[in-house]
Amino acid sequence: MKNLALIGMPGSGKTIVGKLLAQTLKCKFIDTDTLIEKLEDCSIADLINDKGVEYFRSVESQVLQLAVKQKRSVISTGGGIVLSRRNNDCLDENCIIIYLRTSTATLYNRVKGNADRPLLCDDVKEQLELIYAQRRLMYEGNADLTIDTDNLTVEQVAGQILESL
């Protein structure tokens, strides 16, 4: 089985859907953000605040290289993983890429008030719309499979993915 990689906006459900998929498929679950936090021994928010977004993106690319080497894994990526051509090539070579497409209205309802999302710190709704506008085509262009998550439960999203595989 080729690894599965979940891409999408912050709040699209990559982590929770990924955990359920991994459990169902009886394979490993890897969350790139969690690996970054372990490697750097701090939260993503602190890492970005202390060392900047560019440094964070560099570490994210390194962690992705390690994650895709694992066999039989479901990988939950950070929302901005698609910003790097190197990351996109890495995902494309090693994974079936699944885009969890979610409207900005749904994303806003899921992430508002969450201080753990450092790139969504000011006007959350405006930031989500801006980030989505910047990344939408990258998500769509890299995906082998796109699942619309609005109005679906985690189980329904995972079910659609499994059905499509």
pTM for the model: 0.91
Answer whether 76's CB lies under 8 Å from 15's CB.
yes
pLDDT at 125: 79
* Residue 14 · residue 91 · CB < 8 Å: no
- The separation between the first and the last C-alpha atoms of the chain, rounded to the nearest angstrom, is 11
Give residue 141's pLDDT: 94
142 backbone dihedrals φ, ψ, rounded to 5°: -95, -15
Residues making up the chain, counted from first to last: 165
The DSSP code for 101 is: E
**pLDDT, position 110:** 81
- pLDDT of 40: 95
Residue 121 confidence (pLDDT): 57
CATH of the domain at 122: 3.40.50.300
pLDDT by position in tens, the chain (length 165) = 789 999 999 889 999 999 999 999 999 999 999 999 999 999 988 999 899 999 999 999 999 999 999 999 999 999 999 999 999 999 999 999 999 999 998 988 887 765 555 555 566 778 888 989 999 999 999 999 999 999 999 999 999 999 998
Tally the domains of the chain: 1
Q: Give residue 122's domain range.
A: 3-164
CA distance 119 to 107: 14
pLDDT of 119: 52
What pairs with residue 4 in β-bridges?
74, 96
By three-state DSSP, how is residue 142 classified?
A: helix
**Angstrom distances, CA of residue 130 to CA of 3, 16, 102, 135, 136:** 30, 24, 14, 9, 10
| 8 A C-beta contact, residue 88 and residue 135 | no
Q: State the Cα–Cα distance between residues 56 and 25, nearest whole angstrom.
A: 31
